[in-house]
Amino acid sequence: MAGERSWSMAWNEKQGQFIARYRVFPPPPFGSTDPLWATKRLPKAFKRHQSLDAERWLIGWYAQHHRNAGVPGPNVEVQAADKTIALLADRWLAYRERDDGTALNTFVGYRRTLKNWILTNDRFPHYRIDHLDMEQDFNSEVCLAWIDSLCGRATTQLRYAEVLKQFFRDCIAHGWVSADMFNPLDRPIVARRLSHLRSTSDDERTTSFLTAAQVATLLTTPTSKVIDYRRVKYVLTVATGLREGEVQGLMWSDLHLDGPTPYVFVERQLIRGGPKPLVHIRELRRQGIAKTDFMNVKTAIASDPKRKSKRPLPLLPIVVAALRFWWRLGWTQHAGRSPEVDDPVFSSGQRNAHQPYGQFCTSDSAELVRADLDRVGLPTEFVDAQTKASAHFSFHSLRHTFATLLEAGGVERSRIGELLGHKAASVAAKHYIGTLVESRASLVAQLPLPNRIQLRGTLIKVAGDEDSGNVIDLEKRRARRP
Protein backbone atom coordinates (compact mmCIF):
# COMPACT_ATOMS: atom_id res chain seq x y z
CA MET A 1 0.00 0.00 0.00
CA ALA A 2 1.34 3.40 -0.92
CA GLY A 3 2.54 5.81 1.72
CA GLU A 4 0.58 8.78 2.94
CA ARG A 5 2.51 11.17 0.65
CA SER A 6 1.23 9.36 -2.44
CA TRP A 7 -2.08 11.20 -2.25
CA SER A 8 -3.71 14.32 -0.86
CA MET A 9 -7.33 15.31 -0.41
CA ALA A 10 -9.20 18.61 -0.11
CA TRP A 11 -12.80 19.79 0.05
CA ASN A 12 -14.10 21.60 -3.03
CA GLU A 13 -16.77 24.02 -1.90
CA LYS A 14 -18.05 24.71 -5.42
CA GLN A 15 -18.42 21.05 -6.34
CA GLY A 16 -19.62 20.11 -2.86
CA GLN A 17 -17.37 17.06 -2.59
CA PHE A 18 -13.88 15.91 -1.75
CA ILE A 19 -11.32 15.84 -4.56
CA ALA A 20 -8.18 13.74 -4.20
CA ARG A 21 -4.85 14.07 -5.99
CA TYR A 22 -2.87 10.84 -6.19
CA ARG A 23 0.35 9.54 -7.76
CA VAL A 24 -0.28 7.41 -10.85
CA PHE A 25 0.68 3.76 -10.61
CA PRO A 26 2.58 2.35 -12.33
CA PRO A 27 4.54 5.57 -12.95
CA PRO A 28 5.01 6.59 -16.60
CA PRO A 29 8.36 5.65 -18.18
CA PHE A 30 11.25 8.07 -17.96
CA GLY A 31 10.99 10.85 -20.53
CA SER A 32 7.26 10.30 -21.09
CA THR A 33 4.96 13.31 -21.19
CA ASP A 34 2.21 11.45 -19.32
CA PRO A 35 1.28 13.13 -16.01
CA LEU A 36 2.67 11.78 -12.75
CA TRP A 37 -0.43 12.80 -10.83
CA ALA A 38 -4.15 12.36 -11.39
CA THR A 39 -7.32 13.48 -9.65
CA LYS A 40 -10.20 11.52 -8.19
CA ARG A 41 -13.61 12.79 -7.13
CA LEU A 42 -14.88 11.09 -4.02
CA PRO A 43 -18.57 10.15 -3.72
CA LYS A 44 -20.81 13.04 -2.77
CA ALA A 45 -22.19 10.95 0.07
CA PHE A 46 -19.24 12.21 2.12
CA LYS A 47 -20.05 15.60 3.61
CA ARG A 48 -17.51 18.21 4.56
CA HIS A 49 -17.46 17.21 8.23
CA GLN A 50 -16.77 13.55 7.33
CA SER A 51 -13.13 13.99 6.37
CA LEU A 52 -11.93 10.96 8.34
CA ASP A 53 -14.44 8.66 6.67
CA ALA A 54 -13.52 10.11 3.27
CA GLU A 55 -9.82 9.51 3.95
CA ARG A 56 -10.46 5.90 4.88
CA TRP A 57 -12.49 5.41 1.69
CA LEU A 58 -9.67 6.97 -0.34
CA ILE A 59 -7.04 4.76 1.27
CA GLY A 60 -9.06 1.68 0.36
CA TRP A 61 -9.60 2.88 -3.19
CA TYR A 62 -5.89 3.70 -3.65
CA ALA A 63 -4.89 0.28 -2.31
CA GLN A 64 -7.08 -1.32 -4.98
CA HIS A 65 -5.55 1.08 -7.55
CA HIS A 66 -2.15 -0.44 -6.73
CA ARG A 67 -3.42 -4.01 -6.79
CA ASN A 68 -4.98 -3.48 -10.22
CA ALA A 69 -1.77 -1.89 -11.54
CA GLY A 70 -3.61 1.30 -12.40
CA VAL A 71 -6.52 -0.33 -14.24
CA PRO A 72 -9.70 1.52 -13.21
CA GLY A 73 -11.96 -0.56 -11.03
CA PRO A 74 -15.28 -0.07 -9.26
CA ASN A 75 -15.47 2.18 -6.24
CA VAL A 76 -14.73 0.15 -3.12
CA GLU A 77 -16.09 0.47 0.36
CA VAL A 78 -13.61 0.50 3.18
CA GLN A 79 -13.97 -2.55 5.37
CA ALA A 80 -14.85 -1.76 8.96
CA ALA A 81 -11.89 -1.92 11.30
CA ASP A 82 -11.86 -4.87 13.69
CA LYS A 83 -10.95 -2.66 16.67
CA THR A 84 -13.71 -0.11 16.90
CA ILE A 85 -15.87 1.10 19.77
CA ALA A 86 -18.93 -0.45 18.14
CA LEU A 87 -17.32 -3.91 18.08
CA LEU A 88 -15.78 -3.73 21.56
CA ALA A 89 -18.64 -2.00 23.41
CA ASP A 90 -20.52 -5.18 24.31
CA ARG A 91 -17.31 -6.89 25.46
CA TRP A 92 -16.46 -3.92 27.68
CA LEU A 93 -19.94 -3.74 29.21
CA ALA A 94 -19.84 -7.49 29.88
CA TYR A 95 -16.51 -7.05 31.69
CA ARG A 96 -17.84 -4.14 33.76
CA GLU A 97 -20.99 -6.10 34.54
CA ARG A 98 -18.90 -8.93 36.01
CA ASP A 99 -16.49 -6.62 37.84
CA ASP A 100 -17.31 -6.51 41.57
CA GLY A 101 -15.45 -3.22 41.87
CA THR A 102 -17.95 -1.46 39.58
CA ALA A 103 -20.96 -0.24 41.53
CA LEU A 104 -24.41 -0.73 40.05
CA ASN A 105 -24.99 3.01 39.54
CA THR A 106 -21.57 3.34 37.91
CA PHE A 107 -22.35 0.48 35.53
CA VAL A 108 -25.69 2.04 34.60
CA GLY A 109 -23.90 5.35 33.94
CA TYR A 110 -21.33 3.60 31.72
CA ARG A 111 -24.05 1.93 29.68
CA ARG A 112 -26.10 5.13 29.31
CA THR A 113 -23.09 7.24 28.27
CA LEU A 114 -21.91 4.62 25.80
CA LYS A 115 -25.33 4.48 24.16
CA ASN A 116 -26.23 8.18 24.10
CA TRP A 117 -22.91 9.99 23.65
CA ILE A 118 -20.43 7.56 22.12
CA LEU A 119 -22.25 5.06 19.91
CA THR A 120 -24.99 7.43 18.70
CA ASN A 121 -23.61 10.94 19.03
CA ASP A 122 -25.15 12.88 16.13
CA ARG A 123 -23.33 16.06 17.16
CA PHE A 124 -19.89 14.54 16.57
CA PRO A 125 -18.35 16.32 13.55
CA HIS A 126 -17.32 13.03 11.92
CA TYR A 127 -19.73 10.53 10.50
CA ARG A 128 -19.49 7.63 12.97
CA ILE A 129 -17.19 7.76 15.97
CA ASP A 130 -18.05 4.16 16.85
CA HIS A 131 -16.62 2.93 13.50
CA LEU A 132 -13.27 4.72 13.78
CA ASP A 133 -10.24 2.52 14.23
CA MET A 134 -9.23 2.87 17.89
CA GLU A 135 -5.54 2.38 17.16
CA GLN A 136 -5.22 4.72 14.15
CA ASP A 137 -8.04 7.25 13.94
CA PHE A 138 -8.25 8.59 17.49
CA ASN A 139 -5.74 11.39 17.27
CA SER A 140 -5.86 14.50 19.42
CA GLU A 141 -7.99 16.33 16.87
CA VAL A 142 -10.69 13.66 16.93
CA CYS A 143 -10.73 13.50 20.74
CA LEU A 144 -11.05 17.28 21.06
CA ALA A 145 -13.80 17.37 18.41
CA TRP A 146 -15.73 14.70 20.30
CA ILE A 147 -15.38 16.56 23.62
CA ASP A 148 -16.63 19.76 21.93
CA SER A 149 -19.70 17.87 20.65
CA LEU A 150 -20.87 16.97 24.17
CA CYS A 151 -23.88 18.77 25.63
CA GLY A 152 -24.42 19.94 29.17
CA ARG A 153 -22.37 21.72 31.78
CA ALA A 154 -18.65 21.18 32.25
CA THR A 155 -19.35 18.62 34.99
CA THR A 156 -21.48 16.55 32.61
CA GLN A 157 -18.99 16.80 29.75
CA LEU A 158 -16.18 15.73 32.06
CA ARG A 159 -18.18 12.71 33.21
CA TYR A 160 -18.79 11.58 29.63
CA ALA A 161 -15.13 12.08 28.71
CA GLU A 162 -14.02 10.03 31.72
CA VAL A 163 -16.19 7.14 30.52
CA LEU A 164 -14.48 7.11 27.10
CA LYS A 165 -11.12 7.41 28.83
CA GLN A 166 -11.93 4.41 31.03
CA PHE A 167 -13.13 2.49 27.97
CA PHE A 168 -9.75 2.97 26.24
CA ARG A 169 -7.89 2.15 29.47
CA ASP A 170 -9.71 -1.17 29.88
CA CYS A 171 -9.32 -2.10 26.20
CA ILE A 172 -5.56 -1.52 26.40
CA ALA A 173 -5.21 -3.37 29.73
CA HIS A 174 -7.06 -6.45 28.44
CA GLY A 175 -5.23 -6.57 25.12
CA TRP A 176 -8.33 -5.93 23.02
CA VAL A 177 -6.24 -3.31 21.24
CA SER A 178 -2.47 -2.99 21.03
CA ALA A 179 -0.90 -3.21 24.49
CA ASP A 180 1.67 -0.60 23.38
CA MET A 181 -1.05 1.89 22.50
CA PHE A 182 -1.12 5.22 24.35
CA ASN A 183 -4.52 6.24 25.67
CA PRO A 184 -5.57 9.08 23.33
CA LEU A 185 -7.37 10.93 26.12
CA ASP A 186 -4.09 11.04 28.09
CA ARG A 187 -2.30 13.00 25.38
CA PRO A 188 -1.11 16.38 26.67
CA ILE A 189 -3.42 18.58 24.60
CA VAL A 190 -6.47 16.45 25.46
CA ALA A 191 -5.43 16.23 29.12
CA ARG A 192 -5.25 20.03 29.24
CA ARG A 193 -8.79 20.27 27.89
CA LEU A 194 -10.04 17.83 30.53
CA SER A 195 -8.17 19.76 33.22
CA HIS A 196 -9.90 22.95 32.02
CA LEU A 197 -13.28 21.19 32.21
CA ARG A 198 -12.42 20.04 35.73
CA SER A 199 -11.61 23.56 36.91
CA THR A 200 -14.70 24.94 35.14
CA SER A 201 -16.92 22.36 36.81
CA ASP A 202 -15.51 23.39 40.20
CA ASP A 203 -16.38 27.01 39.43
CA GLU A 204 -19.89 26.03 38.28
CA ARG A 205 -20.62 23.99 41.39
CA THR A 206 -22.71 25.83 43.97
CA THR A 207 -22.93 24.16 47.37
CA SER A 208 -26.42 24.76 48.74
CA PHE A 209 -26.93 24.68 52.51
CA LEU A 210 -29.24 26.00 55.20
CA THR A 211 -28.20 28.39 57.93
CA ALA A 212 -28.69 27.51 61.60
CA ALA A 213 -31.70 29.84 61.73
CA GLN A 214 -33.23 28.20 58.66
CA VAL A 215 -32.70 24.74 60.17
CA ALA A 216 -34.51 25.86 63.32
CA THR A 217 -37.37 27.22 61.21
CA LEU A 218 -37.65 23.97 59.25
CA LEU A 219 -37.73 21.84 62.41
CA THR A 220 -39.83 23.96 64.77
CA THR A 221 -42.43 25.85 62.68
CA PRO A 222 -45.91 24.47 63.54
CA THR A 223 -47.66 23.19 60.41
CA SER A 224 -49.66 20.10 59.59
CA LYS A 225 -48.40 20.03 56.01
CA VAL A 226 -44.88 18.84 56.91
CA ILE A 227 -45.45 15.23 57.95
CA ASP A 228 -43.61 13.62 60.87
CA TYR A 229 -41.87 11.13 58.56
CA ARG A 230 -39.93 13.87 56.82
CA ARG A 231 -39.23 16.05 59.85
CA VAL A 232 -37.66 13.18 61.77
CA LYS A 233 -35.61 12.36 58.69
CA TYR A 234 -34.53 16.00 58.36
CA VAL A 235 -33.29 16.28 61.94
CA LEU A 236 -31.39 12.98 61.64
CA THR A 237 -29.72 14.03 58.39
CA VAL A 238 -28.76 17.54 59.53
CA ALA A 239 -27.26 16.05 62.70
CA THR A 240 -25.31 13.21 61.03
CA GLY A 241 -24.67 14.23 57.39
CA LEU A 242 -25.92 10.89 56.05
CA ARG A 243 -26.40 10.40 52.34
CA GLU A 244 -29.97 9.85 51.19
CA GLY A 245 -29.34 6.20 50.31
CA GLU A 246 -27.78 5.65 53.74
CA VAL A 247 -30.84 7.18 55.45
CA GLN A 248 -33.28 5.04 53.46
CA GLY A 249 -31.19 1.92 54.13
CA LEU A 250 -31.23 2.30 57.93
CA MET A 251 -32.86 -0.46 59.98
CA TRP A 252 -33.90 -0.15 63.60
CA SER A 253 -31.10 -2.55 64.54
CA ASP A 254 -28.59 0.07 63.34
CA LEU A 255 -29.72 2.53 66.04
CA HIS A 256 -28.13 2.28 69.50
CA LEU A 257 -30.08 4.75 71.62
CA ASP A 258 -29.70 3.34 75.16
CA GLY A 259 -25.93 3.52 75.73
CA PRO A 260 -24.01 6.32 77.42
CA THR A 261 -23.30 7.79 73.98
CA PRO A 262 -26.16 7.02 71.57
CA TYR A 263 -25.08 6.42 67.99
CA VAL A 264 -26.14 5.10 64.62
CA PHE A 265 -23.93 2.66 62.72
CA VAL A 266 -23.95 3.30 58.96
CA GLU A 267 -23.54 -0.11 57.40
CA ARG A 268 -25.25 0.12 54.00
CA GLN A 269 -27.07 2.29 51.51
CA LEU A 270 -30.31 1.45 49.73
CA ILE A 271 -30.05 0.77 46.01
CA ARG A 272 -33.62 -0.29 45.27
CA GLY A 273 -36.72 -0.37 47.43
CA GLY A 274 -38.86 -3.39 48.14
CA PRO A 275 -40.01 -5.74 50.92
CA LYS A 276 -37.86 -7.46 53.51
CA PRO A 277 -35.40 -9.10 53.74
CA LEU A 278 -32.88 -6.51 52.58
CA VAL A 279 -30.46 -8.30 50.23
CA HIS A 280 -26.90 -7.11 49.71
CA ILE A 281 -25.51 -6.82 46.20
CA ARG A 282 -22.60 -8.99 47.28
CA GLU A 283 -24.98 -11.88 47.99
CA LEU A 284 -26.70 -11.46 44.62
CA ARG A 285 -23.35 -11.58 42.85
CA ARG A 286 -22.44 -14.68 44.82
CA GLN A 287 -25.61 -16.30 43.49
CA GLY A 288 -24.54 -15.49 39.93
CA ILE A 289 -27.21 -12.84 39.28
CA ALA A 290 -26.09 -10.29 36.69
CA LYS A 291 -26.31 -6.56 37.41
CA THR A 292 -28.68 -6.19 34.49
CA ASP A 293 -31.06 -8.64 36.22
CA PHE A 294 -31.12 -6.89 39.61
CA MET A 295 -34.43 -5.26 38.79
CA ASN A 296 -36.03 -8.72 38.67
CA VAL A 297 -35.16 -9.38 42.32
CA LYS A 298 -38.33 -9.18 44.44
CA THR A 299 -36.79 -7.87 47.68
CA ALA A 300 -35.01 -4.61 48.54
CA ILE A 301 -31.36 -4.31 47.47
CA ALA A 302 -28.54 -2.59 49.35
CA SER A 303 -24.81 -2.07 48.90
CA ASP A 304 -21.92 -0.82 51.00
CA PRO A 305 -21.85 2.95 51.55
CA LYS A 306 -19.86 4.96 49.03
CA ARG A 307 -16.11 4.48 49.41
CA LYS A 308 -16.91 1.60 51.79
CA SER A 309 -17.43 4.23 54.51
CA LYS A 310 -19.05 2.12 57.20
CA ARG A 311 -18.92 4.30 60.31
CA PRO A 312 -20.54 4.99 63.71
CA LEU A 313 -21.99 8.48 64.16
CA PRO A 314 -23.03 9.91 67.56
CA LEU A 315 -26.55 11.25 67.96
CA LEU A 316 -27.53 14.52 69.64
CA PRO A 317 -30.22 14.41 72.36
CA ILE A 318 -32.85 15.98 70.11
CA VAL A 319 -32.23 13.28 67.49
CA VAL A 320 -32.47 10.53 70.11
CA ALA A 321 -35.75 12.01 71.38
CA ALA A 322 -37.18 12.24 67.86
CA LEU A 323 -36.17 8.64 67.02
CA ARG A 324 -37.63 7.31 70.24
CA PHE A 325 -40.92 9.01 69.42
CA TRP A 326 -40.75 7.60 65.91
CA TRP A 327 -40.24 4.07 67.27
CA ARG A 328 -42.94 4.28 69.94
CA LEU A 329 -45.65 6.04 68.01
CA GLY A 330 -44.82 7.73 64.70
CA TRP A 331 -43.74 4.66 62.72
CA THR A 332 -46.94 2.80 63.64
CA GLN A 333 -49.10 5.70 62.51
CA HIS A 334 -47.08 6.05 59.31
CA ALA A 335 -46.86 2.38 58.27
CA GLY A 336 -50.03 0.99 59.85
CA ARG A 337 -48.36 -1.66 62.01
CA SER A 338 -45.84 -1.92 64.84
CA PRO A 339 -42.15 -1.74 63.86
CA GLU A 340 -39.71 -4.64 64.12
CA VAL A 341 -35.93 -4.46 64.49
CA ASP A 342 -35.32 -5.46 60.84
CA ASP A 343 -37.78 -2.88 59.49
CA PRO A 344 -36.53 0.26 57.75
CA VAL A 345 -36.48 3.33 59.98
CA PHE A 346 -38.05 5.34 57.17
CA SER A 347 -40.40 2.99 55.36
CA SER A 348 -43.14 3.45 52.81
CA GLY A 349 -46.29 4.77 54.44
CA GLN A 350 -50.04 4.41 54.18
CA ARG A 351 -50.23 7.42 51.86
CA ASN A 352 -47.97 5.70 49.32
CA ALA A 353 -50.22 4.16 46.70
CA HIS A 354 -47.33 2.62 44.71
CA GLN A 355 -46.15 -0.02 47.18
CA PRO A 356 -47.35 -1.74 50.38
CA TYR A 357 -46.78 -0.16 53.79
CA GLY A 358 -43.63 -0.72 55.83
CA GLN A 359 -41.25 -1.53 52.96
CA PHE A 360 -37.83 -0.13 52.11
CA CYS A 361 -38.42 2.76 49.76
CA THR A 362 -36.91 5.72 47.97
CA SER A 363 -38.72 9.02 47.56
CA ASP A 364 -38.58 12.07 45.33
CA SER A 365 -36.85 13.96 48.12
CA ALA A 366 -35.62 17.00 46.18
CA GLU A 367 -39.12 18.21 45.35
CA LEU A 368 -40.41 17.28 48.81
CA VAL A 369 -37.66 19.24 50.56
CA ARG A 370 -38.41 22.33 48.48
CA ALA A 371 -42.13 21.94 49.14
CA ASP A 372 -41.54 21.70 52.90
CA LEU A 373 -39.23 24.72 52.85
CA ASP A 374 -41.94 26.69 51.11
CA ARG A 375 -44.54 25.53 53.66
CA VAL A 376 -42.54 26.95 56.57
CA GLY A 377 -41.80 30.21 54.74
CA LEU A 378 -38.20 29.52 53.63
CA PRO A 379 -36.77 30.04 50.12
CA THR A 380 -36.53 27.00 47.86
CA GLU A 381 -33.37 28.26 46.14
CA PHE A 382 -29.93 28.91 47.59
CA VAL A 383 -28.11 32.06 46.46
CA ASP A 384 -24.38 32.43 47.10
CA ALA A 385 -23.74 35.78 48.79
CA GLN A 386 -20.42 36.34 46.97
CA THR A 387 -20.87 34.97 43.46
CA LYS A 388 -24.67 35.43 43.33
CA ALA A 389 -24.86 31.95 41.80
CA SER A 390 -28.03 30.04 42.66
CA ALA A 391 -28.95 26.40 43.10
CA HIS A 392 -32.13 24.59 44.08
CA PHE A 393 -32.24 23.04 47.52
CA SER A 394 -32.33 19.25 47.59
CA PHE A 395 -32.08 16.52 50.20
CA HIS A 396 -28.31 16.54 49.69
CA SER A 397 -28.36 20.18 50.87
CA LEU A 398 -28.98 18.82 54.38
CA ARG A 399 -25.69 16.93 54.16
CA HIS A 400 -24.00 20.16 53.02
CA THR A 401 -25.65 21.90 55.99
CA PHE A 402 -24.15 19.40 58.42
CA ALA A 403 -20.63 20.01 57.05
CA THR A 404 -21.06 23.80 56.85
CA LEU A 405 -22.33 24.16 60.41
CA LEU A 406 -19.50 22.00 61.74
CA GLU A 407 -16.92 24.07 59.88
CA ALA A 408 -18.48 27.25 61.26
CA GLY A 409 -18.14 25.68 64.72
CA GLY A 410 -14.39 25.30 64.29
CA VAL A 411 -14.17 21.60 63.41
CA GLU A 412 -11.25 20.70 61.13
CA ARG A 413 -12.12 19.69 57.58
CA SER A 414 -10.31 16.38 57.92
CA ARG A 415 -12.56 15.45 60.84
CA ILE A 416 -15.65 16.62 58.94
CA GLY A 417 -14.64 14.37 56.02
CA GLU A 418 -14.30 11.51 58.47
CA LEU A 419 -17.86 12.06 59.70
CA LEU A 420 -19.20 12.40 56.15
CA GLY A 421 -17.61 9.12 55.12
CA HIS A 422 -15.22 10.64 52.58
CA LYS A 423 -12.55 8.25 53.80
CA ALA A 424 -13.10 4.61 54.70
CA ALA A 425 -12.38 3.83 58.34
CA SER A 426 -9.18 1.94 59.09
CA VAL A 427 -9.25 -1.68 60.23
CA ALA A 428 -8.32 -0.66 63.79
CA ALA A 429 -11.07 1.97 63.90
CA LYS A 430 -13.69 -0.63 62.99
CA HIS A 431 -12.87 -2.60 66.15
CA TYR A 432 -13.01 0.37 68.53
CA ILE A 433 -16.47 1.77 67.88
CA GLY A 434 -16.92 2.98 71.45
CA THR A 435 -13.78 5.10 71.34
CA LEU A 436 -14.73 6.47 67.92
CA VAL A 437 -18.21 7.46 69.04
CA GLU A 438 -16.93 9.28 72.12
CA SER A 439 -14.30 11.20 70.15
CA ARG A 440 -16.82 12.15 67.49
CA ALA A 441 -19.52 13.14 69.98
CA SER A 442 -17.56 16.25 70.94
CA LEU A 443 -17.43 17.24 67.25
CA VAL A 444 -21.14 16.76 66.62
CA ALA A 445 -21.89 18.74 69.79
CA GLN A 446 -20.73 21.85 67.89
CA LEU A 447 -23.89 21.74 65.77
CA PRO A 448 -26.20 24.67 66.63
CA LEU A 449 -29.43 22.67 66.39
CA PRO A 450 -32.60 23.57 68.34
CA ASN A 451 -33.52 21.59 71.46
CA ARG A 452 -36.99 20.90 70.13
CA ILE A 453 -38.72 19.61 67.01
CA GLN A 454 -42.34 20.31 66.17
CA LEU A 455 -44.29 17.39 64.81
CA ARG A 456 -47.99 17.38 63.97
CA GLY A 457 -49.70 17.88 67.31
CA THR A 458 -46.60 16.92 69.29
CA LEU A 459 -43.73 19.07 70.50
CA ILE A 460 -40.64 16.97 71.24
CA LYS A 461 -38.22 18.61 73.65
CA VAL A 462 -35.01 17.61 75.39
CA ALA A 463 -34.05 18.23 78.99
CA GLY A 464 -32.80 21.76 79.59
CA ASP A 465 -35.24 23.50 77.30
CA GLU A 466 -36.38 26.83 78.69
CA ASP A 467 -39.99 25.86 79.36
CA SER A 468 -39.90 22.14 80.03
CA GLY A 469 -37.63 19.43 81.34
CA ASN A 470 -39.59 16.63 79.73
CA VAL A 471 -37.76 14.45 77.25
CA ILE A 472 -40.85 13.79 75.12
CA ASP A 473 -44.34 15.21 75.35
CA LEU A 474 -46.79 12.65 73.93
CA GLU A 475 -50.05 13.64 75.63
CA LYS A 476 -51.69 14.84 72.43
CA ARG A 477 -50.96 11.76 70.34
CA ARG A 478 -52.36 8.26 70.43
CA ALA A 479 -51.33 5.44 68.13
CA ARG A 480 -53.95 4.18 65.72
CA ARG A 481 -54.57 0.48 65.67
CA PRO A 482 -52.98 -1.23 62.66
CA distance 202 to 186: 21
CA quadruple 210, 214, 215, 218: dihedral positive or negative? negative
- Which tens digits make up the pLDDT trace of 273-320? 999 999 999 999 889 888 888 888 999 999 999 888 899 999 999 999
Q: How would residue 462 be classed by pLDDT, with cut points 50, 70 and 90?
A: confident
Q: Which residues contact 251 (CB under 8 A, 6 or more apart)?
A: 278, 341, 342, 343, 344, 345
- Give the pLDDT score at 466: 46
Helices of type H across 287-394: 317-325, 331-335, 365-375
Lowest mean pLDDT among 263-277, 299-313, 452-466: 452-466
Pick the CATH number of 212-266+308-352+362-461 from 3.30.70.2970, 3.20.20.70, 1.10.443.10, 3.40.190.10: 1.10.443.10
pLDDT at position 251 over 70: yes
228-240 and 396-408 helices, crossing angle to 10°? 40
CA distance 405 to 448: 7
Global pTM value: 0.77
- Give the pLDDT score at 178: 86
Q: How would residue 125 be classed by pLDDT, with cut points 50, 70 and 90?
A: low
- Which tens digits make up the pLDDT trace of 154-181? 999 999 999 999 999 999 998 888 888 9
- Which tens digits make up the pLDDT trace of 47-67? 776 777 787 788 778 877 777
Apex 253 CA angle, 251 and 257, nearest 5: 110
DSSP letter at 115 equals I
CA distance 76 to 375: 69
What 3-state DSSP class applies to 172? helix
pLDDT at position 436 over 70: yes
Q: How would residue 410 be classed by pLDDT, with cut points 50, 70 and 90?
A: very high
pLDDT at position 470 over 50: no
Lowest mean pLDDT among 1-10, 122-131, 205-214, 320-329: 1-10
Domain extent listing, the chain: 4-67, 85-204, 212-266+308-352+362-461
- Given the DSSP bridges, would you call strands 269-272 and 263-266 parallel, antiparallel or unpaired? unpaired
Q: How would residue 71 be classed by pLDDT, with cut points 50, 70 and 90?
A: low
- Report percent pLDDT > 90 for the chain: 49
CB 308 within 8 A of CB 284: no
pLDDT at position 425 over 90: no
